[in-house]
């Protein structure tokens, strides 16, 4: 709290207010939002990276650990740093697990943050298991879809995996967050356009890049094949189904912030709450 003693404490703090009356909103709204957003971002990062690593691991099982890359090196480099970073940032900046007015009028909801109910050991393992499931679906559906197709080479196979992995990661953010707003949708659409634009330009102009295998016109070949679109459609749906059902079941039966559950559990939520 900024006062006459100077601004040293304010400069070292994460939040600064000039009146004590602002502490209520700072704690119940912004404090709760900040903790929940950080927790969801950490869990998503674990899931995101674990899924990516297991896709590469599965490929090593089939190439005899020879070091052959599943994806082109630039897709590996840009997957986390460019293609999927905007939805993560949008969710981490704008997600609201509970509206501001409701958080102020029902201070007992702060117990959800106080007891760290959104960041438990079981939530970590659920995300890890979900990541293993998604990576398994992404790799093996593409593998068996292209296994008996003599017109498909390793480059098209790798691009199909990169495409489904990127789109799945983008859509997963929607299932991970509580509030879907224009910022989140815009970030996903922009990320998809960046991914698509980079792919089309890179494959059309780069004959030999980074001294690796040429990706020349790989995406153009894949986009003209019906098996590519069917494979990715089924892959994305099947990969996200468990998360969708878990989210539905949790929100309808277990979520302490749910309106319906709050009516049944209001006594347990208000017990020993000191705000």
Please state the domain extents for the chain: 24-270
Name every residue whose Cβ is closer than 8 Å to that of residue 86 and which is 6 or more positions away in sequence.
Answer: 187, 188, 190, 191, 194
Cβ atoms < 10 Å from Cβ of 126: 17
| Distance between CA atoms of residues 50 and 127, nearest Å | 9
**DSSP annotation string for 46-95:** HHHHHHHHHHHHHHHHHTTT----SS-HHHHHHIIIIITHHHHHHHHHH-
In contact, 227 and 145? CB cutoff 8 Å: yes
Q: What is the pLDDT of residue 258?
A: 64
Q: Backbone phi, then psi, for 230, in 5-degree steps?
A: -65, -45
pLDDT for res 207:
62
Do residues 250 and 123 make contact, with C-beta atoms less than 8 angstroms apart? no
pLDDT of residue 208: 63
Neighbours of 76 (CB within 10 A): 14
- Round to whole Å and give the CA distance between 69 and 134: 19
SS3 3: strand
Burial label for 254, CB within 10 Å (0-12, 13-18, 19+), is: exposed
pLDDT tens over the chain, length 275 residues: 666 666 666 777 777 777 777 788 888 998 899 999 999 999 999 999 999 999 999 998 988 887 777 888 888 889 988 999 999 999 999 999 888 888 888 888 888 888 777 888 888 999 999 999 999 999 999 999 988 776 677 888 999 999 999 999 999 999 999 889 999 999 999 999 999 999 999 888 866 655 555 677 889 989 999 999 999 999 999 999 999 998 888 888 877 666 544 454 444 445 444 44
Three-state DSSP at 6 gives strand
Q: How far apart are CA 225 and CA 15, in angstroms?
A: 53
47, 130 contact by CB (below 8 A): yes
pLDDT of residue 137: 97
What's the CA gap between 29 and 134, in Å, rounded?
34
pTM of the model: 0.84
């Amino acid at each position: 709290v900024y006062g006459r003693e100077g601004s040293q404490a304010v400069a070292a703090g994460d939040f600064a207010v000039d009146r004590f009356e602002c502490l209520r909103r700072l704690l119940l709204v912004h404090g709760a939002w900040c903790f929940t957003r950080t927790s969801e971002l950490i869990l998503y990062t674990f899931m995101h990276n674990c899924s990516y690593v297991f896709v590469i691991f599965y490929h090593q099982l089939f190439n005899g650990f020879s070091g052959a890359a599943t994806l082109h090196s630039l897709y590996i480099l840009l997957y986390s740093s460019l293609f999927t970073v905007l939805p993560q940032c949008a969710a981490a900046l704008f997600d609201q697990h509970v509206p501001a007015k409701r958080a102020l009028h029902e201070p007992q909801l702060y117990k959800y943050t106080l007891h760290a109910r959104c960041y438990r050991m079981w939530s970590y393992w659920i995300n890890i298991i979900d990541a293993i499931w998604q990576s398994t679906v992404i790799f093996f559906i593409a593998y068996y879809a292209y296994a008996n197709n003599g017109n498909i080479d390793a480059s098209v196979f790798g691009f199909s995996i990169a495409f489904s992995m990127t789109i799945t990661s983008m859509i997963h953010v929607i299932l991970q967050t509580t509030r879907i707003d224009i910022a989140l949708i815009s970030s996903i659409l922009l990320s998809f356009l960046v991914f698509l634009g980079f792919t089309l330009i890179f494959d059309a102009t780069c004959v030999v890049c980074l001294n690796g295998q040429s990706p020349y016109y790989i995406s153009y070949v894949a986009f003209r094949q019906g098996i590519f679109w069917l494979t990715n459609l089924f892959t994305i749906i099947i990969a996200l189904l468990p998360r969708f059902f878990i989210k539905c079941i949790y929100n309808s039966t277990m979520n302490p912030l749910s309106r319906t559950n709050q009516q049944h559990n209001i006594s347990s939520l208000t017990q020993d709450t000191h705000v």
